[in-house]
Amino acid sequence: MALPKINQPLFSLTIPSTKAKIKYRPFTVKEEKILLIAQESGDSDQTVLAIKQIINNCIEDINVEELATFDLEYIMLQLRAKSVSDVIEIKITDPDTKEEIDLSIDLNTIQIKENKDHDPFIKIQDDMVLHMTYPTLLMMNIIDESDDMTDPKVLFKLMISCMKEVIQGDDVYPFKDFSHGEIEEFVNSMSMGNMNDIKMFFETMPVLKYEKEYTRKDGTKKTFVVQGMDTFFL
C-alpha cells in the first residue's frame, strides 16, 4: 500500500508588471533543500537556478525567464511568506555603532514601490516613441559574471536588450526583427536627451523595497532599508 499524498493549498497573486493573476502552492521540503544547497554554495548563478526551479515547481504555466526581475522578487517573497512564515524576527547591526537591533518584519508589508515619473514609452522625436521593457532573467543572462555593472559597455548591452519596439505613427518596428548592427546604428543616432530619458526609465523602475524605523540605545532614530532579492533572504 502506497503512502497517502499530501495535498498542498493553492494561493493566488497578481504579477506586478502585467497584472496577470496566477495560482501557486507553497514550497515544500523538496524546494527548501534546493534553496539551502544553493545558498550554501555561495554561487550567485546556482542561487538563480534554484529560484527558477522553485518557481517552476510551485507555479504552473509561467515562463520564469520572461518575468521582470522585480516580478520574480515579489513572487519569491510571497512564496516565502506562505511556505515558512509571513512574520520573521531578525537581528541587524547598526552601521555606525555596531549595536545589534531586534526587528520584527511582516512580509505582507513589503510591496512593490512605483515611481509616478516612470514611463516605459520614451519620446525620441515628435512622431517617434521608443517602447522599453523591463530586464528579465533571460536578458540578465547576456551579462557575464565577470562584467562590471558600472561599465558603460555593459549597461549599453543591457539597455539595448530592454528595447522592445519603436512606434512611428501607425508603424511599429519590433527590435527582434532587426540585426544588432541596425539597432546599434539607431541607438547611436539618439540625442543625449533621449539617453537621459532611457536612464530615467531604469532609475525609476518599480522595486521591491522595505523600510522600517528603529531606535538605537542613544535615542537616535535610524531606518533599516532592504530591497530587491535581498528581501527574500531576510
pLDDT of residue 52: 85
pLDDT tens digits, 14-38: 999 888 999 999 988 888 888 888 8
Place of cell 524546494: 31
d(CA 21, CA 25): 14
Residue 50, classified by CB atoms within 10 Å of its CB into exposed (0-12), middle (13-18) or buried (19+), is buried
- Grid cell 558600472 in the structure block, residue: 150
The confidence score (pLDDT) of residue 110 equals 85
The ranges assigned to domains in the chain are: 11-112+207-231, 121-203
Per-residue confidence (pLDDT) for residue 60, from 0 to 100: 81
Give the model's pLDDT for residue 131: 97
| All three cell numbers of 128 | 517617434
Residue 25: what pLDDT?
92
Q: What is the DSSP letter of 5?
A: P
Whole-angstrom Cα distance, residue 158 to residue 146?
A: 15
Q: Which residues of the chain have pLDDT under 50?
A: 146
Quote the pLDDT of residue 12: 92
